[in-house]
Amino acid sequence: MIPKMPALGLLLECPVFEAYNRKITTANERIHDPNDSEYRQPIDFEVYREIIERFKNEHIYSRMRTIEEKQAV
């Protein structure tokens, strides 16, 4: 038997905001002042890569392994 999806749930590995970043970059070109209330920063998760990986290892992967060991899956 081959599972069709992970037994313990799905994990979003890497959120992608390319379309949003393109849209916001175009909108920001009309706003020349980053202090303007309409100005938005592009979303970049690479800045938080180390924190995200640490969180996944400490809270997600370790819990998945524990549950898999207990349920023998």
* pLDDT tens readout for residues 2-14: 655 555 556 667 7
The pTM assigned to this predicted structure is 0.58
Whether 8 and 67 have beta carbons less than 8 Å apart is answered as yes
Q: Which residue has the higher pLDDT, 56 or 72?
A: 56
Record the tokens describing residue 72, joined without a space: 């023998």
Q: Sketch the domain layout of the chain as residue ranges.
A: 18-71
Give just the sign of the alpha carbon dihedral 7, 13, 18, 20: positive
Give the residue-averaged pLDDT of 35-61. Answer: 90
* Residue 15: its H or E element: none
Contacts of 39 (CB under 8 A, 6+ apart): 28, 31, 33
